[in-house]
Amino acid sequence: MPIKFNPIYTITPEIVNSLMRIEAAKEKVAHLPLTAKLLNSLRETARLYTTHYSTMIEGNKLEPDQVEAVLKHNEHFPDKERDEKEVKGYYTAIAQIENWAARGDPITENMIQILHALVMGGGRAKVKPTSYRDGQNAIRDSRSGVIVYMPPEYSDVPGLMKGLVYWLKSNETLPCPVLAGIAHYQFATIHPYYDGNGRTARLLTSLILHLGGYDLKGLYSLEEYYARNLGNYYDAISIGPSHNYYMGQAQADITRWVDYFICGMAVAFENIFKRMNHAQKHGDIDQTEMMRKLDRKQRQALQLFEEFETVTASQIGKLFGFKPRTSAQLCKTWTNAGFLDIVDFSNKGRKYRLAKKYKKLIE
């Protein structure tokens, strides 16, 4: 049975101001002209940044250039095998988020458990949902060993997670940034796993924002904002009169955390606009009108054609996590719409290439 989740918070003038900054930056980014190639380059940089900073928060020792070397060139660094597995797991989970967001899948417990499995999976794309912890865990100060937070008992975790998912579905009228911030806090508070809770909480946050239309073309990194000042991050999320979940933590007023989170989103969104604006000024011709004619999945599929001249329905299906029949139907729809051309007409070996008028988007 779900354990009811009823967060206590106030939408302060500061939060309202940050929400307005988010909307303003979101609007500017939406109308900033960029070439498809430049957009994909910025998006990949954001994925690498997000992976680096989110794992760095948890103690990962890889530098940004090493993260890229591991993920893009499969390089290895002595005595950093665990760090390599962490970045591979997080990067794979980001790809899964983008697939779910492209399909518009509503959030379920199973999805959250898959996210955690990917985080801990070292880069494996096929994983089984991770069961919640079966015992008590505690967060200790790394230096003194003193307990700084005692999460709820493991027997309450399933009900608390059901309550969180139910709350997400029941409060979709809330501003999406507020919804995401509160979900981040509650997941971290429940601490449903022995390890990987922080990374999974940040991924869940990203999934909520993507589904709510706040993906900002996949270019921002909230993790960078947290990592720049970890003290503020931990201070903001450590709310309540006691370190024990049952002694005030569950009923704490989380306004301070919501304020911190929303302000962080505003900073991240504004920074991305500045980077995009700079990149656009030093980029190629304006392809905005042609890009607007494409839907979200078509824009995402362009990255395949940057790497391959022709692709199969199976490759497109893998990009979105579709089954073969759905992938074949999507290719048929795109062919009829003039987005794709058929290269090989055989049923088993059918291949597709980007229609001529759209090739300029990736050249």
Instruction: Name the band, by pLDDT with cuts 50, 70 and 90, for residue 138.
Output: confident
pLDDT score at 316 = 86
Mean pLDDT of 54-63: 85
In this predicted structure, the answer to whether residue 235 has a pLDDT above a threshold of 60 is: yes
In this predicted structure, the answer to whether residue 206 has a pLDDT above a threshold of 70 is: yes
Highest mean pLDDT among 34-43, 133-142, 333-342: 333-342
Please say whether the beta carbons of 330 and 315 come within 8 A. no
pLDDT score at 280 = 62
Distance CA 127, CA 139 (A): 27
Instruction: Name the band, by pLDDT with cuts 50, 70 and 90, for residue 143.
Output: low
pLDDT score at 244 = 81
Mean pLDDT of the chain: 85
Instruction: Name the band, by pLDDT with cuts 50, 70 and 90, for residue 55.
Output: confident
pLDDT score at 232 = 80
pLDDT score at 282 = 57
Which domains does the chain show, CATH number per domain? Answer: 13-280 (1.10.3290.10), 293-359 (1.10.10.10)
pLDDT score at 9 = 93
In this predicted structure, the answer to whether residue 246 has a pLDDT above a threshold of 70 is: yes
- Structure-derived torsion over alpha carbons of residues 262, 263, 267, 273, reported in degrees to the nearest 10: 50
Higher-pLDDT residue of 3, 31: 3
CA angle 161, 176, 190 (to 5 degrees): 20
In this predicted structure, the answer to whether residue 166 has a pLDDT above a threshold of 80 is: yes
pLDDT score at 155 = 95
Higher-pLDDT residue of 211, 271: 211
Instruction: Name the band, by pLDDT with cuts 50, 70 and 90, for residue 211.
Output: very high
In this predicted structure, the answer to whether residue 94 has a pLDDT above a threshold of 80 is: yes
Residue-wise pLDDT tens digits, 251-301: 889 999 999 999 989 988 888 777 777 666 655 545 566 766 778 788 778
* DSSP of 220-251: --HHHHHHHTHHHHHHHH--SSSSBIIIIITT
In this predicted structure, the answer to whether residue 61 has a pLDDT above a threshold of 80 is: yes
Minimum mean pLDDT among 102-106, 171-175, 176-180, 209-213: which range?
A: 102-106
| Count of residues in the chain | 363
Higher-pLDDT residue of 21, 31: 21
Instruction: Name the band, by pLDDT with cuts 50, 70 and 90, for residue 118.
Output: very high
Higher-pLDDT residue of 50, 81: 81
Burial class (CB in 10 A: 0-12, 13-18, 19+), 244: middle
Please say whether the beta carbons of 222 and 189 come within 8 A. no
Report the predicted TM-score, pTM, of the whole model to 2 decimal places: 0.77
In this predicted structure, the answer to whether residue 33 has a pLDDT above a threshold of 70 is: no
Q: What φ, ψ does residue 43 adopt, rounded to 5°?
A: -65, -45
- Kindly state the tokens that stand for 5: 């989740």
Please say whether the beta carbons of 94 and 78 come within 8 A. no
Q: Work out the percent of the chain whose per-residue pLDDT is above 70.
A: 90
Instruction: Name the band, by pLDDT with cuts 50, 70 and 90, for residue 223.
Output: confident
